[in-house]
């Protein structure tokens, strides 16, 4: 019997998702004679059994298309808002899977999606995942599709900000996506020639940042570009966060645990707020230069995927069908040293690929005189 595939995209959209769906579909239908249906809007589409048949015609014209034509959402199977209640909808998903006589469910997504997909694998569903995110922070894969496109967009933005910063003798603080990791800020900051790059992995000291900018002024360069990852954090705040985490770990009774958890959540909430404006104001005061803020935001996720992302999505998507054909499930298709590998999901979930402090890019940034704020 020809195999039947279900496919969905979950989490934030990312360039290359349509190219990956197309690659899975064309290989499955054209080479193996399998069938495929797509579920709309991530895991919610599975709960509500909202799907469409993906035949040859539906898979045409997708390669260059940004976003995901299936739609996406950040819904989690085990904690989904239904009406005004948050409910565990895992059983409904399992039911939809069987109702559609699926042999496998392919989930395209970031770190959260890998976790949600793994939970479904634990419930007995055949699952394969593909790694997408502009953040490039999924463990066990060298890279993720979406990252290269976003890197290009952020680099071009930093390029363009140079001429206006230079003309007005200003600091420009550029907010770059990356809540937990700094791959996008570090990569585009180096490629775009930022003068300061602040990333979550290296808590910054505002005085070190201002010194770097003042030093440039002394050399006659009285403008600076400061590339800041969303999750960048000052040394003081990082310390407070660490203390709160320790308190949570050391809490001995229920009451203490609850209190420590609430404190940590509050700190995380405060940290999630955009802090580029505060940083910009601090730098104005410390350097005497005028400063402006540019938040790149969702521009970084929009539009057609780069050639590298199209290639990667096609490579991972086609290899995924080889796995389906050999009935290898519970894996994420990863790229490791230019080769595609199937990595067991349990080795992927619960981890985050941070930038190692001895990474070549960190060294390279320092060597070309970029301040990392520490």
CB 105, CB 97: distance < 8 Å:
yes
Q: How far apart are CA 230 and CA 182, in angstroms?
A: 8
CB proximity list for 222: less than 8 A, separation 6 or greater: 169, 216, 289
160: three-class secondary structure by DSSP? helix
**Binding residues for ligand F6P restricted to 202-231, rule: CB under 6 A:** 230
Active-site annotation holder among 13, 75, 135, 137: 135
Q: How far apart are CA 100 and CA 277, in angstroms?
A: 50
Residue nearer to ligand F6P on the CB measure, 75 or 230: 230
Residue from 3, 22, 76, 301 touching ligand F6P (CB under 6 A): that is 301
Q: How far apart are CA 102 and CA 206, in angstroms?
A: 54
Residue from 46, 165, 177, 345 touching ligand F6P (CB under 6 A): that is 177
Among residues 355, 374, 368, the alpha carbon closest in space to that of 191 is found at 368
Residue from 7, 10, 12, 118 touching ligand F6P (CB under 6 A): that is 12
In this chain, which stretch among 56-64, 80-88, 131-139, 286-294 interacts with ligand F6P, using CB under 6 A?
131-139
352 binding ligand F6P? (CB under 6 A): no
Eight-state DSSP code of residue 186? H
Q: Which strand ranges, in their side-by-side order, compose the sheet holding 127-131?
A: 51-53, 35-39, 4-9, 104-109, 127-131, 331-336, 339-344
Q: How far apart are CA 369 and CA 195, in angstroms?
A: 8
At closest approach, how far in Å is the CB of 353 from ligand F6P?
13
CB proximity list for 252: less than 8 A, separation 6 or greater: none
At closest approach, how far in Å is the CB of 184 from ligand F6P?
7
178 binding ligand F6P? (CB under 6 A): yes
In this chain, which stretch among 21-29, 130-138, 219-227, 350-358 interacts with ligand F6P, using CB under 6 A?
130-138
At closest approach, how far in Å is the CB of 86 from ligand F6P?
18
Residue from 134, 324, 342, 362 touching ligand F6P (CB under 6 A): that is 134
Residue written as tokens 């059983």? Answer: 91
Residue with smallest beta-carbon separation from ligand F6P: 177
Residue from 133, 280, 282, 315 touching ligand F6P (CB under 6 A): that is 133
Could you confirm whether 135 is annotated as catalytic? yes
For 193, other C-beta atoms within 10 Å of its C-beta total 15
Residue from 110, 175, 203, 317 touching ligand F6P (CB under 6 A): that is 110
46 binding ligand F6P? (CB under 6 A): no
Residue ranges in contact with ligand F6P by CB under 6 A: 12, 110, 133-135, 177-179, 230, 301
Residues marked active site are found at: 135
């Amino acid at each position: 019997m020809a195999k039947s595939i279900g496919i969905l995209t979950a989490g934030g959209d990312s360039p290359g998702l349509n190219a990956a769906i197309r690659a899975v579909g064309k290989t499955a239908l054209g080479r193996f004679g399998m069938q495929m249906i797509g579920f709309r809007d991530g895991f919610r589409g599975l709960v509500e059994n909202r799907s469409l048949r993906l035949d040859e015609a539906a898979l045409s014209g997708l390669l260059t298309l940004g976003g995901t034509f299936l739609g996406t959402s950040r819904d989690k199977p085990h904690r989904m808002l239904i009406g005004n209640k948050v409910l565990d909808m895992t059983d409904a998903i399992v039911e939809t899977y069987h109702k559609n006589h699926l042999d496998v469910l392919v989930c395209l997504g970031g770190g959260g999606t890998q976790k949600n997909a793994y939970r479904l694998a634990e419930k007995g569903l055949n699952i394969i995942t593909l790694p997408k995110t502009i953040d490039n922070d999924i463990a066990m894969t060298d890279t993720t599709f979406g990252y290269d496109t976003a890197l290009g967009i952020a680099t071009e933005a930093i390029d363009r900000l140079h001429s206006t910063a230079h003309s007005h003798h200003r600091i420009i603080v550029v907010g770059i996506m990356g809540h937990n990791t700094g791959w996008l800020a570090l990569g585009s900051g180096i490629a775009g020639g930022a003068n300061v790059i602040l990333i979550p992995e290296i808590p910054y000291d505002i005085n070190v940042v201002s010194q770097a900018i003042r030093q440039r002024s002394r050399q006659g360069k009285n403008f600076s570009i400061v590339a800041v990852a969303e999750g960048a954090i000052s040394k003081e705040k990082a310390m407070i966060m660490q203390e709160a985490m320790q308190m949570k770990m050391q809490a001995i009774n229920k009451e203490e645990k609850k209190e420590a958890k609430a404190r940590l959540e509050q700190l995380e909430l405060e940290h999630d707020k955009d802090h580029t404006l505060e940083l910009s104001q601090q730098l104005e005061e410390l350097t005497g230069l005028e400063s402006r803020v540019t938040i790149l935001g969702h521009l970084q996720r929009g539009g057609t995927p780069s050639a590298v992302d199209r290639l990667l999505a096609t490579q991972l998507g086609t290899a995924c069908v080889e796995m389906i054909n050999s009935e290898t499930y519970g894996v994420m298709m990863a790229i490791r040293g230019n080769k595609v590998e199937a990595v067991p999901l349990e080795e992927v979930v619960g981890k985050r690929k941070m930038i190692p402090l001895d990474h070549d890019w960190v060294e390279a940034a320092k060597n070309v005189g970029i301040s990392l704020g520490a």
